[in-house]
Structure 1
Amino acid sequence: MKTMQDAPRARRTALALAAMSLCPPAALAQAQPRTTDTKALQEVVVTAERRSTHVQKTAISLATVSGDEMREKGQTTLEAALSDTPAVSVMATPQGGQVFVRGVGSQGDSNWVDPAISLNLDGVYSGRAERVFASMYDVARVEVLRGPQGTLYGRNSTGGSVNVLTHNPGPRLGGAVNLQLGNYQLRHADAALNVPLGEQWALRVAALREKREGYFSNGGRASDLSAGRIKLQYRPSNDVTLLATVDSFDSRGAGATTVPRAFAGGPPFFNWQTDHANPWQVDDLHPADVQRTRFTTTTLQADVNLGFGLLSVQPALVKSRRMTQTDLVAGIAAPGSTLPLPETIWEETQKTLELRLAAPARAPWQWVLGAYAFEASNVQTGVPPSFPPPTWESYDTRVPAASRALFGQLTAPLMPGLRGTAGLRHTRDEKTYHYGVHSTAVWTGAAYDSGIQQVSQTYSATTGKLGLEWDLSRQAMAYAQWASGHKAGGFGIAMPPQAYEPEHLDAIELGLKSRFLDNRLQINGELYAYQYKNYQVMYQDAAAPSPVPGDASASFMQYVVNAGAGRIRGFEVESRWRALPDTELRAAFTYNDAHYGHFALAALQGMNGARVVGTPRWSLTLGAEQTWELGDGLGLLRAGWSTRFSDGYTVSLNHSMPGGNLNGQQARFHKTDLRLSYAPMHERWSAGLWLKNLENKAQTTQVLPFGRAQITDPRTVGVNLGWKF
């Protein structure tokens, strides 16, 4: 049944969830406050600095999301897990999503423009936008490191790093099964099984299957995906651990559906929409609209305790393939048209190798030395011709890349309660672009064939970190640091290609991490000031000159240009308060003033000093969680609520589009999620309800050519059923 017809039912369910999540304990039959000694906030262990530390003892602004939290909230993608993270936003692209942290990000196609926030999945780097919207399962936690991570992570981590860590094999037999059912015919199942194989071996197998109808009336954003992961661990001694992983993901469904942004003078088919009050109600696109993405990751991690340090070696091989056949601008083929839609296939093989030698966990001097190597070979076939009607076509293109780096970081005690940190990383990147165009005399009066051309660029950079951290008390730490980040240059999606320079960021950060009231109140905050050089900005131009000599027609190109010296200033305050043994309140406020520098390109002169896309000036997140112990040992009832308030922001930079400069704007908004769950006292199984986007409002995440835009998902409601053994 179509979800559009389920709106009244969804609204009633939403109101019921809201009432249940906000009701007082007295309103619940036989519900009593839990008698528990766990009044303090829990300690969270992370590996953000390539070693295990507590969040409150790590001199980095970071946020964490556990796998259990994601399950209770009905979050199955990285984009959903980051939705409540302060200073973080996800901007859509036709291929997936790009993460922005404190105004640092990249909105371009990840085939051509590297992300500015590095994504690491079980330690393996991924620069693919598709990964942000890909489903996740059997997740231990997600770590979000804010600010440049130019030493320990390095490659394209100008604004930060997002680390996804899944569960490793353990010594006990056990497993879990999670089921989700929801509107839009959501059917989701994931499971994990942990099997010890003697004293030295352990195996963990996890799998996922999900199907869902599209969020749009034409079936857009439907999903049909499956995934599996096998981890095999071998520990011949206490000093040696080998972990082999094979991870596979296969997603298919409707391609990116867009909605109109009306403008004067545009052709009628640019504005297909029958119900402007419902942004997900659009006219049917071409029936062949489809997108399929496949990833296979194979990696081996070896950890060897040498006594004086821990040696870690991790080679990885990632193969990916994306096929897209879609009408992104909803104008190439009118409804009912038999015109074939352009099809593109992007295939890539990525090889990485990282070696690290780290100090023992309890050593007073903590140090890390390492080396990193990255290679990617790829090919894009079936590149769409120019639009309006093609006068030329491009050959298959290749954009191979390579990167090498050496790095090290040291944290040493200077005096009791005072430590200093120094780090350095040297990176060398290389990008190559193989391209070519050809046309026939039908359009230009003379045939033209450029043949296969090649251009290359090499970039080198040294980034680092200097910092101090003070223990103000057993439960409070202050830190001050300078850190820098670097992102490689490359080539935009244009013929002939135009190179853009690497970008560089210098950051000054002052932070405080503290707990009060016997560890029941936590307040963390950070002030930051960034100085940006050569911020990489992608913009789209429908009036670009044709690459074919003698052809006077306009072409559609996507350029990347460098903005001059820009600045970002802001602060964050995050708090958690265990007000009662079973009541936790959360609040986070972020202020961010992010502006581009000078654009040398005349087409973007009007954007000099403009606010960075995807960056609201302020955002506020509020949340609460309440637990009740039901009478007579019946079990535990938990209710949760979170709302994010956001200032408006610029969505995209476009030039020479029909109707003028369409710099999409997202107005101020708020978005609320609710959840309710029950588990017996032994918590072997659980059942829950979740609701996302209570307001049922859409936010614009990207404006595409010809007045089309991508928007966020509508209200979704579902149930969770979980079982652990």
Structure 2
Amino acid sequence: MSALSRAMLLGSSAVGVFLATHSAVAQEAASQGVDNASSYGLEEIIVTAQKRSSGLQDTPIAISAFTGETLEERGIDDVDNLQSYVPNLHIGREQDGFKISLRGIGLQGTTSISDSGVAFYADNFYIGRPAGGSAIFYDIDRIEVLRGPQGTLYGRNATGGVVNVISKLPTKDFEGQVGASYGTRNLWEVRGIVNVPLHEIAAARISAVYTKEDGYVKNVSTVPGTKDLFGTDGDLTLRGQLLVGSPDEIEVLLSATHSKLNGTGVPLSYLERRINTGAPPVRALAATIPADNPNPLITNNNTPGYLDVETTTPFVRLTKDFGGVEAVVQFGKMWQTSDLVQDFDGSSVNVGYFRKYQDSDAGSVEARLASTGDGPLKWITGVYYFTEDTYINRLVTLRGLTPGGIITLPNFDLDEWGKSTTKAAFGSLTYSFTPALRATVGGRYTKDKKSGTKLTKSNFGQPLPPDTPLAKTFDKFTWKLGLEYDVSRDIFAYASVSTGYKAGGFNISSDSSPYDPEEITAYELGIKTDLFDRRVRINLDSFYYDYKDMQLTTLGTYGPTAAPGQFTVNAGKSRIYGLELDTQFKITRELLLSATYAYTNAKFQDLCNRDPRDVPPPPTAASCAAKGLLGIDLSGKRVPYVAKHGITLGAQYTLDLGSAGELTLAANHAWHSKKWLREFAVAGIDDVKANGKTDATITYKVAETGLKVTGYVTNLENDIEKSNVYVSPGFIGTNAGTAYTKPRTFGVRADYKF
């Protein structure tokens, strides 16, 4: 039996059990005369995952959605915390940004033309280079996480899925909120919102949040200018919105977000040191580095470092209802600069430092029409354009040891310019054969162009690699076929076959070698249920991915000039399949229980690659040489960043205190089995052991005052784990470093609504 057959059989069997159970209990309840009118149920969430409003339980996609209030109650205030609540979501951080993976698909390199496999949106505006994204987790209406390829409606780089952060819109009521938080590691946060009606058809909303935190990795260096901890000297985010008119005439939303993040640097925590490459003087000096502190959260970075990121994002959306047809046109821009200085050897010895400066200018336009009538045919169609120009400068300064003493070597200094453009047209039709049975067909044509060049101004005194302008164009038609069936009022089933695509490119920062687009064909079968008068919610999704040419990025110094850079290669074929079970149980009016389980089998079936840690590299495997590829055969290795098993358990209890208010206690435990952070699967380097993390909150709402006070703890066990692996590109040794997740954090927050 094929893997696809096994996955679909498991899903179908579970669906049958759910249907039979609900049918039997529903009949029993009816025979006993249960009064549904007096019952209570789970929260209903409206989402826009299909670019039109629909109920979460009526949307034929594996989706996790959280309201802004739920996020506050659970203490989810940044992207990192979100991964404890969404099946198969992984967040890693490297240099000046964060990387997202869903079901093992996503992440990205850090060149000027790199793309992620998980599309990140803020208010339906695509952000190609999310940096400091935690600041936007305030004054939001909801977060939607769509698992699986979303190539038809979202298109660009959504092979793994979509994360969409949706802000609260201005309303016609005067209201506001102020709040403050204090927590572990001298965390301070102040925030505020004000919503003002300007006219019967206009309203404005302004929000601001300022955060300062010492950080959790301690730096014991005493060099002047170095910081004791790697945190922030103060992050400020401002958002302003103006909503004018109505869809019947024309509705205009003007929005702008500006954030300025003042980080005190990015620590280097080494897993191993391999002083086996680089110029002899550098190796001699690096050999004097003392042993690292056994505590991974204590380092000795003697270079005064920082990470400053400034982002401005204006956005305009026009909405007009023509009677049966709604038209939406939206424009967005993003200007972002980031400046990073980092100790490159992560030690008390002054071997070298790294600086990366990046300037990005991106913009997009989307125009779409969608039916709004009650007929059997619903449709949506549109066009999309995206462009991004990115400049990056990378500077490495090294020192070495000679018989004459310490010397400074010539720098490595590289300028890089990249440009990406996307043009697309898309459409989707859903036809209702009966009130309960619907079919969907959708398609998208995408044309991508990548161009760029680099200028190597210095290469440690070695010969300069060639700097030839390059350009490549890719195009692809992706499609989706879907079937939906309302089994009953409370049971909704769906099945789909869809394709996804992410453009190829070339290794602009290294040897300019090309890499192919990655393509996916995904099969999904799912069921969503709200049973027993919406007191029990059981959602099950089974999926199978046939993945071709998955893009994988490593650092290295390959080639005759040994110039460092990123190298992206394609995994010829990968197979990913699994099940995701998401449940909620409203036991009483006061008690809510939840549980999720994810099983994912993700393996490479055809992959050849070189581990940059291995110098000199081992001989190319015969199976790889036969395909004209270099490296060792990694077929059968697990896809990184996804565990085979994942479980979350949650509980929330609300106690009515009468005239005194309301007290809510909540806890969530997230556990995953062993997973890997690189395709090479080197024990002690790439592995993350099975681990669990518990978060808990206690919230007191003072009756009729608008005051809410929350105490929280995250990672109660105080267990940290690696979130990514970074191998330095050779000139101070092929050293493997990592970033760790946050240790235990306590805090209290207070908010007052008026």
TM range (shorter): 0.7 to 0.9
Q: State how far apart, in whole Å, the 1-side matches of 2:62 and 2:305 are.
A: 42
Which residue in the other structure is 2:590 paired with?
582
Q: 1:134 to 1:685 in 2, by over 3 A?
A: closer
Q: 1:406 to 1:387 in 2, by over 3 A?
A: farther
Which residue in the other structure is 1:143 paired with?
144
Write out aligned runs for 1:412-491 (5 A): 412-439=431-458, 443-444=461-462, 450=466, 453-491=468-506
What is the number of residues matched between the two proteins?
667
Q: 1:715 to 1:483 in 2, by over 3 A?
A: same
Which residue in the other structure is 1:618 paired with?
645
Q: 1:484 to 1:383 in 2, by over 3 A?
A: farther
Which residue in the other structure is 1:709 paired with?
738
Which residue in the other structure is 2:21 paired with?
none
Q: Which moved more, 1:495-504 or 1:598-607?
A: 598-607
Which residue in the other structure is 1:719 paired with?
748
1:368 aligns with 2:376: no
Q: State how far apart, in whole Å, the 1-side matches of 2:500 and 2:465 are.
A: 41
Query: Displacement, 1:393?
Result: 3.7
Query: Displacement, 1:366?
Result: 1.6
Q: Which letter maps to 1:299?
A: F
Which residue in the other structure is 2:624 paired with?
none
Q: 1:692 to 1:412 in 2, by over 3 A?
A: same
Q: Which letter maps to 1:359?
A: S
Out of 397, 405, 416, the residue aligned to residue 424 of structure 2 is: 405
Query: Displacement, 1:97?
Result: 1.7
Q: State how far apart, in whole Å, the 2-side matches of 1:361 and 1:159 are.
A: 32
Out of 545, 551, 555, the residue aligned to residue 559 of structure 2 is: 545
* Residues 524, 541 of structure 2: 8 Å contact kept: yes
Query: Displacement, 1:545?
Result: 2.9
1:378 aligns with 2:390: yes
Q: State how far apart, in whole Å, the 1-side matches of 2:88 and 2:399 are.
A: 37
Query: Displacement, 1:654?
Result: 6.6
Out of 332, 335, 338, the residue aligned to residue 348 of structure 2 is: 335
Query: Displacement, 1:491?
Result: 2.6
Q: 1:409 to 1:517 in 2, by over 3 A?
A: same
Which residue in the other structure is 1:608 paired with?
635
* Residues 387, 556 of structure 1: 8 Å contact kept: no
SS in 2 for 1:580: coil
* Residues 174, 195 of structure 2: 8 Å contact kept: yes
Out of 687, 690, 709, the residue aligned to residue 665 of structure 1 is: 687
Query: Displacement, 1:546?
Result: 4.4
Which residue in the other structure is 1:196 paired with?
197
Q: State how far apart, in whole Å, the 2-side matches of 1:598 and 1:329 are.
A: 35
Which residue in the other structure is 1:157 paired with?
158
Which residue in the other structure is 1:28 paired with?
none
Q: Which letter maps to 1:45?
A: I
Q: State how far apart, in whole Å, the 1-side matches of 2:246 and 2:59 are.
A: 32
Query: Displacement, 1:255?
Result: 2.3
Q: 1:645 to 1:662 in 2, by over 3 A?
A: closer
Which residue in the other structure is 2:615 paired with?
none
Q: State how far apart, in whole Å, the 1-side matches of 2:667 and 2:288 are.
A: 41
* Residues 454, 509 of structure 2: 8 Å contact kept: no
Query: Displacement, 1:351?
Result: 1.2
Q: State how far apart, in whole Å, the 1-side matches of 2:398 and 2:496 are.
A: 48
Which residue in the other structure is 1:677 paired with?
699
Provide the identity percentage: 27
1:301 aligns with 2:327: no
Q: 1:97 to 1:438 in 2, by over 3 A?
A: closer
Q: State how far apart, in whole Å, the 1-side matches of 2:448 and 2:495 are.
A: 30
RMSD of aligned Cα (Å)? 2.4
SS in 2 for 1:148: coil
Which residue in the other structure is 1:533 paired with?
548
Which residue in the other structure is 2:708 paired with?
686
* Residues 608, 633 of structure 2: 8 Å contact kept: no
Q: 1:198 to 1:443 in 2, by over 3 A?
A: closer
Q: 1:517 to 1:119 in 2, by over 3 A?
A: same
Which residue in the other structure is 1:222 paired with?
231
Q: State how far apart, in whole Å, the 2-side matches of 1:136 and 1:263 are.
A: 37
SS in 1 for 2:606: coil
Q: Which moved more, 1:219-228 or 1:559-568?
A: 219-228
Which residue in the other structure is 2:92 paired with?
91
Which residue in the other structure is 2:24 paired with?
none
* Residues 112, 391 of structure 2: 8 Å contact kept: no
Q: 1:716 to 1:407 in 2, by over 3 A?
A: same
Q: Deviations over 1:194-241 (max 9, x none)?
A: 000011211000111010002111144302200101101110673311
Q: Which letter maps to 1:318?
A: M
Q: 1:313 to 1:265 in 2, by over 3 A?
A: closer
Q: State how far apart, in whole Å, the 2-side matches of 1:322 and 1:394 are.
A: 17
Out of 267, 279, 282, the residue aligned to residue 299 of structure 2 is: 282
Q: State how far apart, in whole Å, the 2-side matches of 1:594 and 1:340 are.
A: 39
Which residue in the other structure is 2:524 paired with?
509
* Residues 386, 556 of structure 1: 8 Å contact kept: no
Q: Which letter maps to 2:575?
A: R
Q: Which letter maps to 1:716?
A: T
Q: State how far apart, in whole Å, the 2-side matches of 1:563 and 1:683 are.
A: 58
Q: Which letter maps to 2:378?
A: Q
Q: State how far apart, in whole Å, the 1-side matches of 2:122 and 2:337 are.
A: 18
Q: 1:624 to 1:419 in 2, by over 3 A?
A: same
Out of 521, 526, 531, the residue aligned to residue 536 of structure 2 is: 521
SS in 2 for 1:80: helix
Q: State how far apart, in whole Å, the 1-side matches of 2:381 and 2:134 are.
A: 33
Q: State how far apart, in whole Å, the 2-side matches of 1:524 and 1:268 are.
A: 56
1:291 aligns with 2:307: yes
Query: Displacement, 1:91?
Result: 2.1
Q: State how far apart, in whole Å, the 2-side matches of 1:599 and 1:606 are.
A: 6
Query: Displacement, 1:611?
Result: 0.5
Query: Displacement, 1:567?
Result: 0.6
Q: State how far apart, in whole Å, the 2-side matches of 1:375 and 1:483 are.
A: 26
Q: 1:106 to 1:367 in 2, by over 3 A?
A: same
Q: State how far apart, in whole Å, the 1-side matches of 2:273 and 2:390 are.
A: 38
* Residues 97, 133 of structure 1: 8 Å contact kept: no
* Residues 132, 309 of structure 2: 8 Å contact kept: no
Which residue in the other structure is 2:281 paired with?
none
Q: State how far apart, in whole Å, the 1-side matches of 2:106 and 2:399 are.
A: 28
Q: What TM-score results when the alignment is normalised by the length of structure 2?
A: 0.84
Q: Which moved more, 1:603-612 or 1:351-360?
A: 603-612
